[in-house]
Structure 1
Amino acid sequence: MKITGVELRTVEMPLVSPFRTSFGTETVRQALLVRVVTGEAEGWGECGAGTAPQYSSEYTHAAADVLTRFLVPALAGVRHAHQVAPALATFKGHRMAKAALETAVLDAGLRADGVSFGQALGAVKERVPCGVSVGITESIPALLDVVGEYLDAGYLRIKLKIEPGWDIEPVRAVRERFGDILLQVDANTAYRRGDARHLAGLDPFGLLLIEQPLEEDDLIGHAELARRITTPICLDESIVSARAAADAIALGACQVVNIKPGRVGGYLEARRIHDVCAANGVPVWCGGMLETGLGRAANLALAALPGFLLPGDTSASDRYYRTDITPPFRLEDGHLAVPDGPGLGVSPIPDLLEEVTVSGTWLPVQPDRQDNLGSS
């Protein structure tokens, strides 16, 4: 498979409702899409970076820049998705940009071979259970209304965003109103080691987990916190590779892991993290980054692996968008179907894609020296 070029396309898609976390409020999802073109097929990838470096150091414009200047030119000579990470290894960081590029190469190769993403990753399920992430609302009554709507829609698990000043009482209110639902919270690094006693106040509510309470580089702090609270700790931002997952588990810093493929550099590394966690008896689940249908399709394939034991943030398309750029994913009995077509199993609908596109760049991939010598 010879890569002839890469298209970078930035789209802007209004969200159904503002999504507020401790990082800020988003009303529009600006996404960087990557299209890889080969002689046999084309493939798509989606960069999970946001418009500002808040969740991580990456953001969409920086991702486009590093792809243009460094990562795409490094594809010369790459013939398979497994070669992408080694080819890009000389460039530090930028895991989300790398993930988008690797995903597009993988998608192109699988489409050419007639193999689905799920087959390639090792999926064992045809559909996956779905949860939904609920942002911080202006009041507890408003929160209860939102949670009630999602439960009525069929979601099997509720995740509440929390931060200092918005934690114990919202959780108490949701538990009292809705009883023994699957409930977890996500702190997005909003707390510090000194907050352990306060966070122990969440223990009586029987939460599935508390996600990333402390800073991403504070594994020792998470291990100490795990000894002081009974709510299981799940790591998100801290887990950037299979090695990081192994270290966190060895330190006792987590009992659950959230796998976001963009955060870890792609779906191949995500599968390795899954394998490390499974070998250590640590359940995993698939996080979300407000993906379009392209990223959602790939996440569903990943979430169908055997170690994904908890419902993920693989919500239906209408959770975020009135109109997606692919055929919409619809919730049925609290589950979404895993696409079974070649590659991602979905493609952008051209007219819808054009409507939301704000910029695009075509980058030819120059042949490497072996190509010039006539080697295949």
Structure 2
Amino acid sequence: MYEDSYYHNPMQDDMLAVIESMETDSLLVDAEGHSTLADNDMGWRVDLIEVDKRLRGLMDTGHLLADHRLIQPVGFNSDQVTLAPDGILETLISAYAVLVWQFQLSEIGQHYQPSPYARRFLQAFSSSAYLHQAAFQQPPVMGSQDAEATLLELNQRLDAWYRSMNEPSFRYELRRNQRNSDKNYQRFWMLFNALQANHSRLQIVRVDCEYTQEDSPNITYDTACHHRERLFQQVRSHYPALVGYLWKLEWGPKTGFHYHCIFFFDGHQVRKDVTLGEQIGMLWARQITGAQGRYFNCNRGAAQRYKHNALGECNYHDINKRKGLDCLARYLTKVDEHIVMTTPGRTFQTSKAPAVPEGPRPGPPRQFPVSWSVGDVDFP
């Protein structure tokens, strides 16, 4: 997980594989200080992500149902027919079952929003009598003429779904997550630049906070938010050297809700970043979650683990650390459209950026301006 996490792009079509690759089966520490493993399936969110993947794949093909292949008699010399198994038809039935149940028949729809693909699927197919019976009962048996009419109707709905995704409103919705990612990225650098303007040396600590294998299926979004709020309250209270922070909420099939947390400390007041990471991690695992939590201290072995290490001591003129921070920022600020789809609230936040001091600063002059470039990386 953590060696490659800087370079994942959570906007890829194969989002589920990316989410699963963000999990780890080692080095997570529980409240007793033991390494733990994760192996969980989180039910409806997994179904939702899988359906979204299949809808994207179907959209890429643009194919319609083939009449001559699908209409099959139920028996020898029978005048009754059914629609035979077919990849496109199976996608329509499974998508209908998951999306109609979650967004129209259950309480999930009161708190969560379908993706742009799923929303337009519901607009095109939610009133389909055939899909309703096939999804919630069994595929119907019918006469040949009814079967031909059913296929015609399904293809008309499918064509309408394809055409709806060429509309400007659909493209606008798809670009919304990119716009939010850009805003998050600017907020990241606004905070960091302001912190460096006030503190020439920072200690940067990253702790990934999640839940145990036994407890993660039962942790709701509200519970995760409550624990995160308590964690940051405690860190602010116990560590006066804390000068800033940010967090990103993610959800994975094996770990459920979990946070990537970055803490910025005044580097002139504290030095042992690995120890700070352990203390914060144990605070999460024991006190905040009541032994329901576990954590990964990303600072431990960071110099060997990450190609561009952003963690630990970062001086004002440390170009390599700043390059590592840019890699980290591009990952942490990317909006994961599936966590947005399955989460009713905020998924990324930074602390308030301090005011940048005016006039000459005390101490020796700084060697580099706040903005510079390294190779092909331009820093804000």
TM-score range normalised by the length of the shorter chain: under 0.3
Larger radius of gyration between Structure 1 and Structure 2:
2
Give the number of the structure whose residues are more often helix, by fraction. Answer: 2
State the TM-score, normalizing by the size of structure 2.
0.25
State the TM-score, normalizing by the size of structure 1.
0.26
